[in-house]
Amino acid sequence: MQKRKLGNSNLEVSALGLGCMGMSFGYGPAQEEQEMISVIRAAVDLGVTFFDTAEVYGPFTNEVLVGKALAPIREQVVIATKFGFHFDANGKQAGLNSRPEHIKEVAEASLKRLNIDAIDLFYQHRVDPNVPIEDVAGAVKELIREGKVRHFGLSEAGVQTIRRAHAVQPVTALQSEYSLWWREPEAEIMPTLEELGIGFVPFSPLGKGYLTGKIDENTTFDSTDFRNTVPRFSPEARKANLALVELVGRVAVRKKATPAQIALAWLLAQKPWIVPIPGTTKLHRLQENIAAATVKLTEDDLHDIENAASEITVQGARYSEAAQRMINR
Protein backbone atom coordinates (compact mmCIF):
# COMPACT_ATOMS: atom_id res chain seq x y z
CA MET A 1 0.00 0.00 0.00
CA GLN A 2 1.11 3.56 -0.66
CA LYS A 3 2.36 5.59 2.29
CA ARG A 4 1.38 9.09 3.32
CA LYS A 5 2.93 11.63 5.68
CA LEU A 6 0.71 13.25 8.27
CA GLY A 7 1.24 16.91 7.54
CA ASN A 8 4.73 18.36 8.00
CA SER A 9 5.66 15.73 10.55
CA ASN A 10 7.95 12.83 9.76
CA LEU A 11 5.17 10.40 10.71
CA GLU A 12 4.68 8.17 7.68
CA VAL A 13 1.78 5.71 7.66
CA SER A 14 -0.18 3.58 5.21
CA ALA A 15 -2.67 5.56 3.09
CA LEU A 16 -5.47 3.78 4.96
CA GLY A 17 -5.33 2.92 8.64
CA LEU A 18 -7.52 0.59 10.70
CA GLY A 19 -9.93 1.91 13.31
CA CYS A 20 -10.14 -0.77 15.99
CA MET A 21 -12.94 0.65 18.19
CA GLY A 22 -15.75 -1.55 16.82
CA MET A 23 -13.88 -4.71 17.76
CA SER A 24 -14.58 -4.00 21.45
CA PHE A 25 -17.19 -1.28 21.68
CA GLY A 26 -19.82 0.87 20.00
CA TYR A 27 -21.24 -1.34 17.26
CA GLY A 28 -22.71 -4.15 19.34
CA PRO A 29 -21.09 -6.77 21.62
CA ALA A 30 -17.31 -7.08 21.79
CA GLN A 31 -16.00 -9.59 19.26
CA GLU A 32 -14.00 -12.70 20.12
CA GLU A 33 -10.43 -11.67 20.93
CA GLN A 34 -8.52 -14.24 18.89
CA GLU A 35 -10.63 -13.51 15.84
CA MET A 36 -9.93 -9.78 16.13
CA ILE A 37 -6.20 -10.41 16.58
CA SER A 38 -6.37 -12.31 13.29
CA VAL A 39 -8.09 -9.37 11.56
CA ILE A 40 -5.50 -6.88 12.87
CA ARG A 41 -2.61 -9.10 11.77
CA ALA A 42 -4.24 -9.61 8.37
CA ALA A 43 -4.31 -5.82 8.03
CA VAL A 44 -0.56 -5.73 8.66
CA ASP A 45 -0.05 -8.42 6.01
CA LEU A 46 -2.07 -6.29 3.58
CA GLY A 47 0.15 -3.25 4.16
CA VAL A 48 -1.65 -1.34 6.92
CA THR A 49 0.80 0.30 9.33
CA PHE A 50 -1.54 2.67 11.22
CA PHE A 51 -3.82 1.42 14.03
CA ASP A 52 -6.24 3.49 16.08
CA THR A 53 -7.50 2.77 19.58
CA ALA A 54 -8.39 4.66 22.79
CA GLU A 55 -8.70 4.02 26.52
CA VAL A 56 -12.44 4.69 26.35
CA TYR A 57 -13.04 1.87 23.84
CA GLY A 58 -14.26 -0.91 26.04
CA PRO A 59 -13.31 0.95 28.27
CA PHE A 60 -9.68 -0.22 28.31
CA THR A 61 -10.13 -3.59 26.59
CA ASN A 62 -9.47 -2.34 23.06
CA GLU A 63 -5.98 -1.12 23.94
CA VAL A 64 -5.17 -4.55 25.40
CA LEU A 65 -6.42 -6.23 22.22
CA VAL A 66 -4.42 -3.95 19.93
CA GLY A 67 -1.31 -4.39 22.08
CA LYS A 68 -1.55 -8.18 21.92
CA ALA A 69 -2.22 -8.22 18.18
CA LEU A 70 0.67 -5.92 17.28
CA ALA A 71 3.28 -7.11 19.81
CA PRO A 72 5.16 -9.35 17.32
CA ILE A 73 5.42 -6.54 14.73
CA ARG A 74 5.56 -3.49 16.99
CA GLU A 75 8.47 -1.90 15.10
CA GLN A 76 6.59 -2.04 11.78
CA VAL A 77 3.48 -0.16 12.89
CA VAL A 78 2.22 3.17 14.23
CA ILE A 79 -0.17 2.97 17.20
CA ALA A 80 -2.46 5.89 18.04
CA THR A 81 -4.44 6.12 21.26
CA LYS A 82 -6.30 8.87 23.12
CA PHE A 83 -6.84 10.56 26.47
CA GLY A 84 -9.42 13.00 27.76
CA PHE A 85 -12.20 11.14 29.56
CA HIS A 86 -12.94 10.69 33.25
CA PHE A 87 -14.03 7.29 34.58
CA ASP A 88 -16.03 6.68 37.74
CA ALA A 89 -15.26 4.06 40.43
CA ASN A 90 -17.02 1.41 38.31
CA GLY A 91 -14.87 2.16 35.27
CA LYS A 92 -17.74 3.86 33.42
CA GLN A 93 -17.02 6.91 31.31
CA ALA A 94 -18.19 9.99 33.23
CA GLY A 95 -17.42 13.25 31.50
CA LEU A 96 -14.17 14.86 30.37
CA ASN A 97 -10.79 15.18 32.08
CA SER A 98 -7.72 16.64 30.38
CA ARG A 99 -5.97 17.94 33.47
CA PRO A 100 -2.19 17.61 32.94
CA GLU A 101 -1.72 15.18 35.84
CA HIS A 102 -4.53 13.00 34.46
CA ILE A 103 -2.99 13.00 30.95
CA LYS A 104 0.23 11.64 32.44
CA GLU A 105 -1.63 8.93 34.36
CA VAL A 106 -3.48 7.90 31.19
CA ALA A 107 -0.23 7.75 29.22
CA GLU A 108 1.31 5.39 31.79
CA ALA A 109 -1.80 3.18 31.84
CA SER A 110 -2.04 3.09 28.03
CA LEU A 111 1.64 2.17 27.69
CA LYS A 112 1.03 -0.78 30.02
CA ARG A 113 -2.14 -1.96 28.28
CA LEU A 114 -0.59 -1.64 24.84
CA ASN A 115 2.64 -3.18 26.13
CA ILE A 116 4.79 -0.60 24.35
CA ASP A 117 7.57 1.82 25.33
CA ALA A 118 6.17 4.87 23.54
CA ILE A 119 2.80 5.95 22.14
CA ASP A 120 3.32 6.94 18.50
CA LEU A 121 0.40 9.39 18.35
CA PHE A 122 -1.45 10.58 21.47
CA TYR A 123 -4.70 12.42 20.76
CA GLN A 124 -6.82 14.50 23.07
CA HIS A 125 -10.08 12.63 22.44
CA ARG A 126 -12.40 15.57 23.11
CA VAL A 127 -11.57 19.15 24.02
CA ASP A 128 -12.06 19.78 27.75
CA PRO A 129 -13.61 23.25 28.27
CA ASN A 130 -12.32 23.29 31.85
CA VAL A 131 -8.63 22.96 30.94
CA PRO A 132 -6.78 25.51 28.77
CA ILE A 133 -5.57 23.77 25.62
CA GLU A 134 -2.11 25.27 26.28
CA ASP A 135 -1.92 23.19 29.48
CA VAL A 136 -2.94 20.07 27.56
CA ALA A 137 -0.34 20.67 24.85
CA GLY A 138 2.26 21.40 27.52
CA ALA A 139 1.57 18.10 29.28
CA VAL A 140 1.95 16.15 26.03
CA LYS A 141 5.11 18.14 25.22
CA GLU A 142 6.60 16.88 28.51
CA LEU A 143 5.62 13.30 27.66
CA ILE A 144 7.33 13.70 24.28
CA ARG A 145 10.42 15.05 26.01
CA GLU A 146 10.41 12.00 28.29
CA GLY A 147 10.18 9.66 25.28
CA LYS A 148 6.79 8.25 26.31
CA VAL A 149 4.92 9.86 23.40
CA ARG A 150 6.18 10.63 19.89
CA HIS A 151 3.44 12.81 18.35
CA PHE A 152 0.55 14.97 19.58
CA GLY A 153 -2.93 14.87 18.08
CA LEU A 154 -6.34 16.45 18.61
CA SER A 155 -9.81 15.07 17.89
CA GLU A 156 -12.92 17.05 16.96
CA ALA A 157 -11.20 20.32 17.87
CA GLY A 158 -12.15 23.70 16.43
CA VAL A 159 -9.85 26.06 14.54
CA GLN A 160 -8.85 28.30 17.45
CA THR A 161 -8.14 25.30 19.70
CA ILE A 162 -5.94 23.78 16.98
CA ARG A 163 -3.98 27.04 16.57
CA ARG A 164 -3.47 27.53 20.30
CA ALA A 165 -2.36 23.94 20.85
CA HIS A 166 -0.04 23.98 17.84
CA ALA A 167 1.72 27.09 19.18
CA VAL A 168 2.78 25.16 22.30
CA GLN A 169 3.45 21.70 20.83
CA PRO A 170 3.20 21.04 17.08
CA VAL A 171 0.07 19.03 16.31
CA THR A 172 0.83 16.12 13.98
CA ALA A 173 -2.76 15.13 13.19
CA LEU A 174 -6.38 16.06 13.73
CA GLN A 175 -8.85 13.20 13.91
CA SER A 176 -12.44 14.17 13.15
CA GLU A 177 -15.40 12.80 11.29
CA TYR A 178 -15.25 13.42 7.55
CA SER A 179 -16.94 11.63 4.67
CA LEU A 180 -19.28 12.24 1.79
CA TRP A 181 -22.11 12.57 4.30
CA TRP A 182 -20.32 14.85 6.80
CA ARG A 183 -18.35 17.56 5.00
CA GLU A 184 -18.32 20.29 7.64
CA PRO A 185 -14.49 20.15 8.04
CA GLU A 186 -14.06 21.50 4.50
CA ALA A 187 -15.18 25.01 5.48
CA GLU A 188 -12.61 26.01 8.13
CA ILE A 189 -10.81 22.96 9.51
CA MET A 190 -9.08 21.71 6.38
CA PRO A 191 -7.71 25.11 5.26
CA THR A 192 -6.28 25.54 8.78
CA LEU A 193 -4.67 22.10 8.73
CA GLU A 194 -3.16 22.84 5.32
CA GLU A 195 -1.80 26.19 6.49
CA LEU A 196 -0.23 24.71 9.64
CA GLY A 197 1.00 21.47 8.05
CA ILE A 198 -1.18 19.14 10.14
CA GLY A 199 -2.40 15.76 8.85
CA PHE A 200 -6.07 14.79 8.84
CA VAL A 201 -7.32 11.39 10.00
CA PRO A 202 -11.03 11.02 9.16
CA PHE A 203 -12.96 8.62 11.36
CA SER A 204 -16.28 7.14 10.21
CA PRO A 205 -15.12 7.57 6.59
CA LEU A 206 -17.93 5.20 5.53
CA GLY A 207 -20.58 7.12 7.45
CA LYS A 208 -20.68 4.56 10.29
CA GLY A 209 -21.39 1.91 7.66
CA TYR A 210 -24.16 3.78 5.84
CA LEU A 211 -22.15 4.58 2.70
CA THR A 212 -21.44 0.90 2.06
CA GLY A 213 -24.98 0.53 0.73
CA LYS A 214 -25.67 -2.32 3.17
CA ILE A 215 -27.99 -0.31 5.44
CA ASP A 216 -31.52 0.89 4.70
CA GLU A 217 -34.55 2.01 6.72
CA ASN A 218 -35.38 -1.58 7.63
CA THR A 219 -31.96 -2.46 9.06
CA THR A 220 -31.98 -3.21 12.80
CA PHE A 221 -29.00 -2.76 15.10
CA ASP A 222 -28.00 -4.63 18.26
CA SER A 223 -29.31 -2.98 21.45
CA THR A 224 -25.72 -2.02 22.40
CA ASP A 225 -25.03 -0.36 19.02
CA PHE A 226 -24.60 3.38 19.51
CA ARG A 227 -26.20 4.09 16.12
CA ASN A 228 -29.55 3.55 17.87
CA THR A 229 -28.96 6.95 19.56
CA VAL A 230 -27.89 8.80 16.40
CA PRO A 231 -30.62 10.93 14.74
CA ARG A 232 -29.05 10.34 11.31
CA PHE A 233 -29.74 6.63 11.80
CA SER A 234 -33.46 6.99 12.51
CA PRO A 235 -35.42 4.94 9.93
CA GLU A 236 -36.79 8.17 8.42
CA ALA A 237 -33.31 9.70 8.01
CA ARG A 238 -31.90 6.48 6.58
CA LYS A 239 -34.64 6.43 3.98
CA ALA A 240 -34.19 10.12 3.17
CA ASN A 241 -30.42 9.76 2.79
CA LEU A 242 -30.52 6.89 0.28
CA ALA A 243 -29.87 9.41 -2.53
CA LEU A 244 -26.28 9.68 -1.33
CA VAL A 245 -25.84 5.89 -1.28
CA GLU A 246 -27.30 5.71 -4.79
CA LEU A 247 -24.81 8.33 -5.97
CA VAL A 248 -21.86 6.36 -4.58
CA GLY A 249 -23.34 3.18 -6.03
CA ARG A 250 -23.60 4.67 -9.55
CA VAL A 251 -19.94 5.68 -9.50
CA ALA A 252 -19.00 2.25 -8.12
CA VAL A 253 -20.64 0.48 -11.07
CA ARG A 254 -18.77 2.73 -13.51
CA LYS A 255 -15.42 2.16 -11.78
CA LYS A 256 -15.99 -1.60 -11.23
CA ALA A 257 -15.61 -1.01 -7.48
CA THR A 258 -17.85 -1.20 -4.41
CA PRO A 259 -19.64 1.77 -2.81
CA ALA A 260 -17.29 1.56 0.21
CA GLN A 261 -14.26 1.73 -2.08
CA ILE A 262 -15.61 4.81 -3.86
CA ALA A 263 -16.33 6.57 -0.53
CA LEU A 264 -12.75 5.88 0.65
CA ALA A 265 -11.16 6.72 -2.72
CA TRP A 266 -13.04 10.03 -2.69
CA LEU A 267 -11.49 10.89 0.70
CA LEU A 268 -7.99 9.89 -0.44
CA ALA A 269 -8.40 12.15 -3.49
CA GLN A 270 -9.22 15.25 -1.42
CA LYS A 271 -5.71 15.88 -0.02
CA PRO A 272 -2.41 13.92 0.05
CA TRP A 273 -2.22 14.33 3.84
CA ILE A 274 -5.56 12.64 4.57
CA VAL A 275 -5.45 9.12 6.06
CA PRO A 276 -8.90 7.59 6.65
CA ILE A 277 -9.28 4.89 9.32
CA PRO A 278 -12.24 2.69 8.39
CA GLY A 279 -13.06 0.09 11.02
CA THR A 280 -14.29 -3.45 10.56
CA THR A 281 -14.46 -6.78 12.35
CA LYS A 282 -14.65 -8.85 9.15
CA LEU A 283 -11.73 -10.02 7.05
CA HIS A 284 -13.56 -9.66 3.72
CA ARG A 285 -14.54 -6.07 4.56
CA LEU A 286 -10.95 -5.33 5.54
CA GLN A 287 -9.77 -6.60 2.15
CA GLU A 288 -12.46 -4.58 0.39
CA ASN A 289 -11.56 -1.37 2.24
CA ILE A 290 -7.83 -1.73 1.66
CA ALA A 291 -8.40 -2.27 -2.08
CA ALA A 292 -9.89 1.26 -2.14
CA ALA A 293 -6.32 2.59 -2.13
CA THR A 294 -5.95 1.28 -5.70
CA VAL A 295 -9.16 2.92 -7.00
CA LYS A 296 -8.26 6.04 -8.95
CA LEU A 297 -10.94 8.69 -9.31
CA THR A 298 -10.31 11.02 -12.26
CA GLU A 299 -11.01 14.77 -12.24
CA ASP A 300 -14.20 14.00 -14.17
CA ASP A 301 -15.25 11.40 -11.57
CA LEU A 302 -14.66 13.85 -8.74
CA HIS A 303 -16.49 16.60 -10.63
CA ASP A 304 -19.50 14.31 -11.20
CA ILE A 305 -19.58 13.30 -7.52
CA GLU A 306 -19.35 16.94 -6.44
CA ASN A 307 -22.15 18.05 -8.74
CA ALA A 308 -24.47 15.24 -7.69
CA ALA A 309 -23.64 15.56 -3.97
CA SER A 310 -24.34 19.31 -4.03
CA GLU A 311 -27.98 18.50 -4.90
CA ILE A 312 -28.38 16.26 -1.83
CA THR A 313 -29.14 17.54 1.68
CA VAL A 314 -28.27 14.91 4.26
CA GLN A 315 -30.98 14.52 6.92
CA GLY A 316 -30.45 14.04 10.66
CA ALA A 317 -27.86 15.18 13.22
CA ARG A 318 -24.68 13.10 13.36
CA TYR A 319 -24.74 12.73 17.16
CA SER A 320 -27.24 12.63 20.01
CA GLU A 321 -27.53 15.88 21.97
CA ALA A 322 -25.45 14.46 24.85
CA ALA A 323 -22.62 13.39 22.54
CA GLN A 324 -22.79 16.66 20.64
CA ARG A 325 -22.17 18.61 23.85
CA MET A 326 -18.70 17.02 24.06
CA ILE A 327 -17.65 18.38 20.69
CA ASN A 328 -15.79 21.65 20.52
CA ARG A 329 -16.31 23.79 17.47
**pLDDT band (50, 70, 90) for residue 322:** confident
Does 200 map to a domain?
Answer: yes
pLDDT at 107 (0 to 100): 98
302 Rama class: left (phi>0) / alpha (psi -120 to 50) / beta? alpha
The CATH number assigned to the domain holding 64 equals 3.20.20.100
Query: Which one of the listed residues 57, 123, 178, 210 is annotated catalytic?
Result: 57
- Whether 328 has a pLDDT exceeding 70, the answer reads no
Q: How far is Cα 42 from Cα 292, in angstroms, rounded to an integer?
A: 16
pTM beyond 0.85: yes
Does 25 map to a domain?
Answer: yes
Does 329 map to a domain?
Answer: no
Task: Give yes or no: 123 in active site.
Answer: no
- Whether 327 has a pLDDT exceeding 90, the answer reads no
CA torsion sign, 74 to 57 to 279 to 158?
A: negative
Closest CA to 319 of 234, 246, 239: 234
Does 209 map to a domain?
Answer: yes
Q: How far is Cα 209 from Cα 158, in angstroms, rounded to an integer?
A: 25
- Whether 6 contacts 13, CB under 8 Å: yes
**Residues 136-171 pLDDT 10s:** 999 999 999 999 999 999 999 999 999 999 999 999
- Whether 329 has a pLDDT exceeding 60, the answer reads no
pLDDT at 326 (0 to 100): 85
Does 216 map to a domain?
Answer: yes
Does 52 map to a domain?
Answer: yes
Does 261 map to a domain?
Answer: yes
**Residues 109-130 pLDDT 10s:** 999 999 999 999 999 999 999 9
**Residues 68-114 pLDDT 10s:** 999 999 999 999 999 999 999 999 999 999 999 999 999 999 999 99
Residues in the chain: 329
Amino acid letter, residue 167: A
**Residues 31-43 pLDDT 10s:** 999 999 999 999 9
Alpha helix ranges (H) inside the chain: 33-45, 61-70, 100-114, 133-145, 159-168, 189-196, 235-240, 242-255, 259-270, 283-291, 299-310, 321-324
Mean pLDDT of the chain: 97
Number of domains in the chain: 1
**Full domain range(s) for residue 25:** 3-324
Does 318 map to a domain?
Answer: yes
